[in-house]
A = this chain, B = another copy of it.
C-alpha cells in the first residue's frame, strides 16, 4: 500500500519536519507555491503510547495545521477541544496525567491504534487519517520517516539521579528543566525509511529544512539510516531555515537539546552542525534572521550560500515570505 502520486503542477518539494515550526512553515510554503507537490518526511521519534493509544504528536501537528483543525494559539492539538476523557482518566487515578490528551484528539489516536492493531503500517494509517483532513487535495503527502519503532529518549540528571526519559516526558512533564546530557533516537539505527521517503528525496526539485528543532525533530529524521545519505546525494538543492534567531530558539526549548549535542544556540552554529554539502554535509543554502545578518559571512565561509531575511512566523504571510525566500535561495543555488 503506497501513497497515490498526484501529478505535480508546481515544484516537487521535500520537507523533513517536526512539530509546530515545521507545520507553520509548511502552511506558508503551500501559500507561497500553489501547485507544488509537497512531501513531508514526518518525525516519529516523539510518538508515545498513552493509555494504550498510539499518539504521534508531530505527524498530528502537521496534519491538523494543514487540514484546518489545529488550535491556532497553542500550535498543537485541536481547536475547540474538550477534556472530558482526561478528567475521567484522572478520576480513575491512572497515570500519566501530565499529557494533555483532548477528546477530539483522542479520536485520531483511537483510529490510529485500531488500524495499527489490524496490521496496517504507520505510513498507511497516516495516509488514511490525512485523507479526512484533505491533505491530498493540497498536494501534500505526509510520510512518516519510518514504519519501524523509534523513540527519542533524553538522558537527564536531576535530584532523582541520572536517567533516560521519553522525549515527551522531558518536554511536557519536566518542561526541559533538567539539563539534557544526551538525546538518543532509540531504535533509529535499525529503522528503515518509510515507504516513499527515499523516492521523494530522489525525485525532489528542492529540499527545505524548516525551522524545526535540529536535534529532536530534523535530527531524528536524519538518524534513520539512508535518509541523510539520500539528501546528500539528491540532485535537488537543500536549503535550511535557522530555528535560532538572535541567539535563542524562536520557539520551544531547542537550546536545551542543542546543548546536549554540543551545538551553540546560534544561527551559524546550527548551519555548521548540518554542514555544507560540498564538505560532506547537507546544506547548499541557509537562511538566517535579519538580526543575525552578521552570521552570513561566517556561514558562507563554510561553503553554504546564506541570506538574512525575516524569520519570525508571526502569521501566514510571514511564513509564506520565508518559504519564498527559501525557494529563491534554492533557485539561486541551482543556477
Q: Are B84 and A132 in contact (CB under 8 A)?
A: no
Given known contacts A103-B103, A132-B93, A52 and B84 CB-to-CB distance under 8 angstroms: no
- A52-74 CB contact bits vs B (8 Å, 1 = yes)? 11000000000000000000000
With an 8 A cutoff between CB atoms, is A94 at the interface? yes
Q: Mark out the residues of chain A between 88 and 110 whose CB falls within 8 Å of any chain B CB in the assembled complex.
A: 88-89, 91-94, 102-104, 106-108, 110
- Minimum C-beta distance from A97 to chain B (A): 12
Contacts of A111 in B (CB 8 A): 51, 89, 92, 94
Main secondary structure on chain A at its contact with chain B?
helix
A5 within 8 A of B: no
Near B by CB (< 8 A), chain A positions 108-154 give: 108, 110-111, 113-114, 117, 129, 132
Chain B proximity of A5: nearest CB distance (Å): 23
Nearest-CB residue, chain B, relative to A110: B51
- Chain B residues in 8 Å Cβ range of A86: 107
CB <8 Å contact, B132 and A91: yes
List residues of chain A with CB under 8 Å of any chain B CB: 51-53, 81-82, 84-89, 91-94, 102-104, 106-108, 110-111, 113-114, 117, 129, 132
For the complex with contacts A51-B114, A89-B107, A89-B110, 11 further pairs of A-B residues with Cβ separation under 8 Å are A84-B107, A85-B104, A85-B106, A86-B107, A87-B107, A88-B106, A89-B111, A92-B107, A94-B111, A103-B103, A106-B106
For A53, what are the chain B residues with a Cβ–Cβ distance below 8 Å? 110
Cα-based distance from A113 to B84 in the complex (angstroms): 18
Which listed residue, B84, B88, B93, touches A84 by the CB 8 Å rule?
A: B84
Instruction: Indicate if the CB atoms of B88 and A52 lie closer than 8 Å.
Output: no
Bound together, the chains give a CA A266 to CA B107 distance in angstroms of 45
Copies in the complex: 2
CB nearest neighbor in B for A84: B103
Provide the bound-state CA to CA distance between A87 and B84, in Å: 14
Q: How far is the CB of A70 from chain B (nearest CB, A)?
A: 14
Complex Cα spacing A102 to B102, Å? 14
Minimum-distance CB pairs A-B, first 4: A88-B107, A84-B103, A52-B114, A85-B107
Write out the residue numbers on chain B whose beta carbons fall within 8 Å of the beta carbon of A91.
Answer: 107, 132
| In the bound complex, CA of A92 to CA of B85 (Å) | 19
User: By the criterion CB–CB under 8 Å, are B103 and A82 in contact?
Assistant: yes
A113 to B50 Cα, complex, angstroms: 12
Whether the pair B88, A104 counts as a contact (CB closer than 8 A) is yes
Residues of B within 8 A of A117 (CB): 52
Report the separation of the CA atoms of residues A53 and B86 in the bound assembly, to the nearest whole angstrom.
16
Q: How far is the CA of A82 from the CA of B82 in the complex (A)?
A: 9
Q: A102 vs B87: C-alpha distance in the bound complex, in angstroms?
A: 13
Contacts A92-B129, A132-B91 given; indicate if A113 touches B52 (C-beta within 8 A).
Answer: yes
Given known A-B contacts A51-B111, A52-B114, A132 and B92 have beta carbons under 8 A apart: yes
User: Given contacts A132-B92, A132-B93, is CB(A52)–CB(B110) below 8 Å?
Assistant: yes
